[in-house]
Amino acid sequence: MLTLRTPYLVFLGDEADSAYAKTGIGLAYWRPDLCVGQMRLSDNAADTGLPDQSIHEAQAAGAQSLVLGVAMIGGAIPAEWLPILVEALEAGMDVVAGFHTKLSSFPELVAAAERGGSNLVDVRVPPADIPVGTGQKRTGRRLLTVGTDCALGKKYTALALAKGMSAAGMSADFRATGQTGILIAGGGVPLDAVVADFLVGAAEKVSPDNAPDHWDVIEGQGALFHPGYGPVSMGLLIGSQPDAFVVCTEAGRDTIRGWDSFSTPDIRDVIARTIDIGQQFNPDIRCVGISANTRHLDPTARADYLGALEKEYGLPAIDPIATGVEPIVTRLATEFGQ
């Protein structure tokens, strides 16, 4: 697995649009314990609520890495960022990013990292030497979020579940399989960038052996019925060996986003295929809930929609933002014990 040096200083540049600063905002929201502060180059920049700090102040507060929490447009690092990143690297802090353009393609940064004995960390790049999958069962419990499509809340659901399970006194960790998740978790494997033969092996590394009552809550990727990304989901399902899974969906999304000639699958078919593939590696696999993105529904329609799902599937159906994940946490505690 990739492992990041924490805690972080979250860098936001002068990005005023919170949509482009969502990585930094998400970090501060989900893992305030991993963030010592934020650095903003303008008073108009997005504000995570963390204390504003210089490199020097962040380092005094213990920061080990500067995380680029904003999108980089067009593949170039803005000129005003460079001296700051160089200062952090020379001071011995790692610089961490999830850009398409690799940090190591900027010679100034490579030279500064050499001087500081620090690292340029691209969380889109899988670690070297990932093994082939073994299929051997690991200790501890695992929950995987799966989806009827991509980009409808699998990461958010996993984060909310891990937080809710911990709050309920269960031993639980979020496990990351994508770049933003890796920053939040402080480590993980960017599954979509792994070479095909090593996909299952990479998924196995994400949730290693653990205590018998410990839950790894694993961020799903892709969707089993997705025309482009189905194999990534299959590799993650095989390697995760989940005891439990939650199906994530979006109310009203009838076609696969970007593949509009394909209908989204029935939740029933997603459950059936997930069990069909997963039971070879964990005979006890079961669905424990449905997590629906209902942002386009008003409260009455939301209650009707979730109620209908609960009735049809005999499972808790929630919106992690609008209603919270507690019913699924309760179901887990009831079925598996604390």
Considering the rule CB under 8 A, would residue 128 count as an interface residue with a copy of itself?
no
Alpha-carbon distances of 44 from 15, 40, 65, 315, 325, rounded to whole Å: 8, 9, 24, 45, 34
The residue whose two tokens read 């092996």 is: 201
- Per DSSP bridges, beta strands 141-147 and 215-218 are parallel
Considering the rule CB under 8 A, would residue 307 count as an interface residue with a copy of itself?
no
Considering the rule CB under 8 A, would residue 193 count as an interface residue with a copy of itself?
yes
Considering the rule CB under 8 A, would residue 20 count as an interface residue with a copy of itself?
no
Considering the rule CB under 8 A, would residue 51 count as an interface residue with a copy of itself?
no
Q: Give 50's DSSP letter.
A: S
- One of 27, 86, 191, 217 touching a copy of itself (CB under 8 A): 191
Q: Which amino acid is at 228?
A: G
Name the minimum Å distance from CB 279 to a copy of itself.
11
- Strand partners of residue 217: 143, 174
Stretch that binds a copy of itself, among 16-24, 47-55, 90-98, 221-229 (CB under 8 A): 221-229
Q: What is the DSSP string of 116-137?
A: HT--EEETTSPPS-PPPP----
State which residue, 27 or 152, has the beta carbon closest to a copy of itself: 152
State which residue, 1 or 277, has the beta carbon closest to a copy of itself: 277
The residue whose two tokens read 């993980």 is: 188
State which residue, 31 or 142, has the beta carbon closest to a copy of itself: 142
Considering the rule CB under 8 A, would residue 199 count as an interface residue with a copy of itself?
yes
Name the minimum Å distance from CB 146 to a copy of itself.
14
**Alpha carbon distance 290, 248 (integer Å):** 6
Output 75-79 pairs: Cβ under 8 A, ≥24 positions apart.
Answer: 75/99, 75/100, 75/101, 76/101, 77/106, 78/13
Q: Give 264's DSSP letter.
A: P
- Under 8 Å between Cβ of 290 and 309: yes
Considering the rule CB under 8 A, would residue 195 count as an interface residue with a copy of itself?
yes
Contact positions with a copy of itself (CB under 8 A) in 228-257: 228-232, 234-235, 238
State which residue, 114 or 284, has the beta carbon closest to a copy of itself: 284
Name the minimum Å distance from CB 321 to a copy of itself.
27
Name the minimum Å distance from CB 198 to a copy of itself.
9
- One of 107, 136, 169, 212 touching a copy of itself (CB under 8 A): 136
**Alpha carbon distance 338, 336 (integer Å):** 7
Where does this chain bind a copy of itself (CB under 8 A)? 132-136, 191-197, 199-201, 225, 227-232, 234-235, 238, 259, 261-262, 273, 276-277, 280-281
